[in-house]
Structure 1
Amino acid sequence: MTDRALKAACGIVEAAAPSGVRVHTVFDEATFTATHIASDPATGKAAIIDSVLDFDPASGRTSTDCADQVIAYVEAAGLTVEMHLETHVHADHLSAAPYLQEHLGGTLAIGRDILTVQSVFGKIFNEGPAFARDGSQFDHLLEDGERFRLGSLDAIALHVPGHTPADMAYVIGDTAFIGDTLFMPDYGTARVDFPGGDARTLYRSIYRLLALPDQTRVFLCHDYKAPGRDRFVWETTIGQERRDNVHIHPGITEDAFAAMREARDATLGMPRLILPSIQINMRGGHLPEPEDNGTRYLKLPLNSL
């Protein structure tokens, strides 16, 4: 991977594919988010995982620069998009899944526990009855342990809550896309102080992932550059995470992890885009319906989070 691609606001990076899974990444430096395009070289079937719709909170304007990078790559590579997979309802960026579906096709899927998130945040944002809390904004709700295929590749969805109640990891071939459960080993683990988060639950979910084979390639949803590191990185392995993760390496008990995580989270501010992100992402990336003047609005609940 080149420094130029890594440092670009929306750069495309291609990972090697020893297992047959090919992974291309578009990294959005504005939100520190890695969108992964996983594809089967044998069939050209692809899944887009955790896409980004650009959003300027000062102006309230959306744009599609990063999503257009995804479209350009998919079309140039001759891929057929079968799925848009969300690992969870993100609090730090807006999903571009509906825009990508419009241009590339494919079904939108998330874990079934989206219903819990919709219930909790439906109350926080005082959504009326027009906001469905049944997950119907998505095409498919994945069960824990549900098996599926990406072209000729076997895949499984794993429920890994803790960061939020609805986090999912997707293991495709020998490659795992784990959302916000873990970061690079030198950066640690996800926060748990959002509604429905829990440090002990996250600890157990992480160890579920760490039971995968050491050589399993791991692709992360975010990177923030750990102290002393001057470039963004979003690929590691289960073995590296198990041995070297600064928060949850061998010898760290559940009690010790929970105490560390809760104390650390108490010092963190809310993500810059949490309020717009959740309102849109709990709708499957769809914007709220226009009001009678033709304008769409987002809510800003005061003193609620």
Structure 2
Amino acid sequence: MKPTIQAFYDSSTWTISYVVFDESGGSCAIIDPVLDYDPKSGRTSTHSADKLIAFIGERRLSVEWILETHAHADHLSSADYLKHQVGGKTGIGDHIPAVQKTFKEIFNLGDEFVPDGHHFDHLFADGELFSVGNLTGKAISVSGHTPADLAYQFDDAVFVGDTLFMTDIGTARADFPGGDAHQLFHSIRKILALPSTTRLFMCHDYPPATRTAVWESTVAQQRAHNIHAHDGIDEDTYVSMRNRRDATLEMPNLLLPSIQVNIRAGKLPPVETNGVAYFKIPVNLI
């Protein structure tokens, strides 16, 4: 069964979240939802997530899954808020403990944070199948941007996370802790080995001034036109390009708060004795 897909674009973080469902009155999965965050004030809000909730209510959908393609470094996840509002199980790739362990050390998190992935309801293995009502989903490991990246496939639609961008933007960076440009190359080729008409849905778009934001492409379009990974680009050429380019990129604006929320499946850090939660900012480390 082909999925019905509704996209929600957050211009503040250039993120696209999705509601994937079988039919009105049926079942759905939410993919990569955003929790709004103001870094100047340290305040969160749920404007973006509430748009998803309103759509789910309008279509009378039952939420079965809240899926993360990876532990994002550019936006905070609203998975925990959505879980409490509309239900559903949270899921991410089964290599997330490695990401959690890395960032537990970077942020010097206490004994309360155990990096074993238990913060999520389910950890998906590569190739694992799961159901969303009448839809069948498949988890596809696409490591490289981070060790735990997953793509999710529903029939002819694949949600690629931060592996690929639109053809004029290229591909994801691979210089975060645990990232690997060689792995990313092979993950990209795995996606591009799918049938040419396979629809690819991006997690981000960073549109140039010449166009508005878009987020759907095809395998054929990517193989022909992706500026970083079109057919004919070999592994050594790609890795050399990726490493040179990554060395020039700034860290994402929301890297430090995002990671602390996203490795906890969208939960804020635990409140302290005064009833307030705090983000930790490592100085002269990253």
Shift of 1:43: 6.4
Q: Is the 8 A contact 1:43 1:152 kept in 2?
A: no
- Measured in 2, the distance between the counterparts of 1:142 and 1:250 equals 30
Asked if 1:155 corresponds to 2:137, the answer is: yes
Asked if 1:281 corresponds to 2:235, the answer is: no
- Measured in 2, the distance between the counterparts of 1:105 and 1:181 equals 28
Asked if 1:301 corresponds to 2:278, the answer is: no
Q: Which residue of 2 aligns with 1:104?
A: 86
Of residues 164, 167, 183, the one that matches 1:182 is: 164
Q: How does 1:42-121 map to 2 (within 5 A)?
A: 44-121=26-103
Asked if 1:292 corresponds to 2:273, the answer is: yes
Q: Which residue of 1 aligns with 2:176?
A: 194
Q: Is the 8 A contact 2:24 2:59 kept in 1?
A: no
Q: Which amino acid counterpart does residue 254 of structure 2 have in structure 1?
A: L
Q: Is the 8 A contact 2:34 2:75 kept in 1?
A: yes
Deviation larger for 137-146 or 34-43: 34-43
Q: Which residue of 2 aligns with 1:272?
A: 253
Instruction: Name the count of aligned residue pairs.
Output: 286
Of residues 231, 239, 243, the one that matches 1:262 is: 243
Residue 261 of structure 1: SS of its match in structure 2?
helix
Deviation larger for 104-113 or 144-153: 144-153
Q: Is the 8 A contact 1:43 1:151 kept in 2?
A: no
Q: How does 1:123-272 map to 2 (within 5 A)?
A: 123-226=105-208, 229-272=210-253
Shift of 1:256: 0.4
Q: Is the 8 A contact 2:24 2:61 kept in 1?
A: no
Q: Is the 8 A contact 1:93 1:277 kept in 2?
A: yes
Q: Is the 8 A contact 2:99 2:148 kept in 1?
A: yes
Normalising by the residue count of structure 2, what TM-score does the alignment of the two structures yield?
Answer: 0.98
Normalising by the residue count of structure 1, what TM-score does the alignment of the two structures yield?
Answer: 0.92
- Measured in 1, the distance between the counterparts of 2:123 and 2:232 equals 36
Residue 209 of structure 1: SS of its match in structure 2?
helix
Q: Which runs of 4+ in 1 moved over 3 A?
A: none
Q: Is the 8 A contact 1:48 1:85 kept in 2?
A: yes
Distance 1:241 1:179, change over 3 A: same
Asked if 1:27 corresponds to 2:27, the answer is: no
Q: Which amino acid counterpart does residue 218 of structure 1 have in structure 2?
A: L
Residue 58 of structure 1: SS of its match in structure 2?
coil
Residue 77 of structure 2: SS of its match in structure 1?
coil
